Copies of this chain bind each other. A is one copy, B any other.
Amino acid sequence: MDYETAEQKVKLFLAKEGKFFTRERKKILQEVIKTGDHFSADEMLLQMKSDNVDVSRATLYRALAQLVQAGVLSEADFGHGHAHYEVADEEEGNHGHIICKKCNKVVEIRDPELASLFSRLCAREGFEVDSFQLQLFGHCSDCK
């Protein structure tokens, strides 16, 4: 997702909630979009520090939660004891991850079959699904 698209989404969301697009939120959004990868709150703080962008931990956490709500970020748990974020897919459902238990490498899994299989399974249970989290744990080619 490019910065412009993201900013539109965020502004729309904030406006709807009666909130402001402050300079801190903008700085955070820029840093977040700049990252092409998964990141934790701490990693983002480090990146910001190295870019001389100064925002408090509390503000970052508050902003990340908003970005998730705004649909700009998605959140995942790789079993490492803290949340991971990544820029959300622009269209349709999100994607899964394969995590190497040895070296912690993370690879994204995208396949149209995923969404279609999931919605079939959910319909069977009478659920209406709007997102999923899929983590596959194993060993990558280097570690097995």
Chain A interfacial positions (CB closer than 8 Å to B): 75, 77, 79, 96, 98, 100, 107, 109, 111, 113-114, 117-118, 121-122, 125-141, 144
Contact = CB atoms under 8 A, between A and B. Distances in A.
B117 A127 contact: no
Contacts of A107: 125, 127
A126 B100 CA distance: 11
A126 B141 contact: yes
Contacts of A131: 136-138
Nearest to A133: B135
B139 A128 contact: yes
A124 B136 CA distance: 13
> What 7 A-B pairs are tightest by C-beta distance, nearest first?
A129-B138, A126-B141, A133-B135, A132-B136, A77-B77, A129-B136, A128-B144
Nearest to A119: B136
A50 to B, nearest CB: 30
Contacts of A130: 137-139
Contact of A113 (B79, B117, B128, B140): B117
Contacts of A75: 79
Contacts of A136: 118, 121-122, 127, 129, 131-132
Contacts of A96: 121
